[in-house]
Amino acid sequence: MTIAKGDRIPATTFAKMTENGPEQVSSDEFFKGRTVALFSVPGAFTPTCSAKHLPGFVEKADALKQKGVDEIACTAVNDAFVMGAWGKSAGAEDKVTMLADGNGDFVKAAGLTMDGSKFGMGTRGQRFSMIVKDGVVTELNVEAPGEFKLSSADHLLEQL
């Protein structure tokens, strides 16, 4: 079953890169008591993700925060080392928290997986964005395969 507006974020664990290496992050704690703009990409360093998706959120970070977003986070079925390197190379370090969903536990629990096998990527997360307020999804935008419109920073800004 796919997560929907009004649903609570599933209890899973992400990893994020820190100066001391990967750190485990509980989804319950991460989303508790604040508003988070979360977006998912099929893979770090992939073309659309690197050219448009992540850069859009870096560029619009201040505007999102002015509309009440406490934190912006990007997730992908990649490890914390890859997500950390991608965030650093994209200049996202101070604007977007890179949350690794290495085993795809979050996207599986949310019902938002995709089969990237024909691209040699295996099971990945779909391209989506959401607004999460105190652990509850208030906006959800899931892209059709190959599309990039609904999950953009600009679209989320319109919804706030």
Q: Each residue of 117-146: pLDDT tens digit? A: 888 777 888 999 999 999 999 999 999 888
Report DSSP letters for 72-131, one per residue: EEEEESS-HHHHHHHHHHTT-TTT-EEEE-TT-HHHHHHT-EEE-GGGT--EEEPSEEEE
The closest of 12, 34, 36, 33 to 156, measured between CA atoms, is 36
pLDDT one-digit tens code per residue, 66-89: 999 999 999 999 999 999 999 999
Check residue 74 and give its pLDDT.
96
Residue 1 scores a pLDDT above 80: no
CATH for the 13-159 domain, from 3.40.30.10, 3.40.50.170, 3.30.56.10, 3.10.20.740: 3.40.30.10
Name the 3-class secondary structure at 48.
helix
User: How far is CA 103 from its chain centroid?
Assistant: 15
158/4 Cα distance (integer angstroms): 19
Residue 45's alpha-carbon distances to 65, 88, 92, 123, 135, in angstroms, are 25, 11, 13, 17, 28
45-54, 60-69, 136-145: the lowest-pLDDT one: 45-54
Check residue 28 and give its pLDDT.
96
Check residue 123 and give its pLDDT.
82
Cβ–Cβ under 8 Å, residues 22 and 156:
no
**H or E element at residue 154:** helix 153-159
Check residue 14 and give its pLDDT.
97
Check residue 24 and give its pLDDT.
97
Cβ–Cβ under 8 Å, residues 43 and 117:
no
Instruction: Give the mean pLDDT of the chain.
Output: 92
Check residue 49 and give its pLDDT.
65
Q: Which residues are catalytic?
A: 49
